[in-house]
């Protein structure tokens, strides 16, 4: 694995880790937040998986796709964390 792919994997794992940490901060408040969060993330993953499949014409590798999906995961985690903290 070259350095670029390793960087993509590390960044993806970091984003997923931060997203899970934000999710766990809301876990003790309300279980509904967890179910809403998991539903939104599942939909986002499915949409991105169908809209942006990795293919030779786009030049996207599975590692780059993983990093993109983990950014979406983190973004949704931040939104749900804000909703859970202030509403």
Give me the phi and psi of 59, to 5 degrees please.
75, 20
pLDDT at position 27 is 62
pLDDT at position 6 is 81
pLDDT at position 29 is 58
Distance CA 48, CA 7 (A): 21
**Interval 4-50: pLDDT, tens:** 778 877 877 787 777 777 777 666 555 666 666 666 776 666 666 65
Contact partners, residue 54, CB within 8 Å, separation at least 6:
60, 61, 62, 64, 65
Mean pLDDT of 55-78: 72
Distance CA 84, CA 68 (A): 24
**Has residue 55 got a pLDDT over 60?**
no
């Amino acid at each position: 694995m070259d350095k670029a792919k390793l960087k993509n994997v590390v960044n993806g794992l970091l984003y997923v880790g931060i997203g899970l940490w934000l999710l766990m901060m809301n876990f003790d408040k309300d279980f509904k937040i967890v179910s809403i969060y998991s539903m939104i993330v599942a939909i986002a993953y499915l949409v991105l998986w169908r809209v942006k499949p990795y293919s030779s014409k786009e030049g996207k590798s599975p590692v780059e796709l993983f990093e993109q999906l983990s950014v979406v995961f983190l973004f949704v985690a931040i939104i749900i964390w804000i909703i859970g903290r202030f509403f």
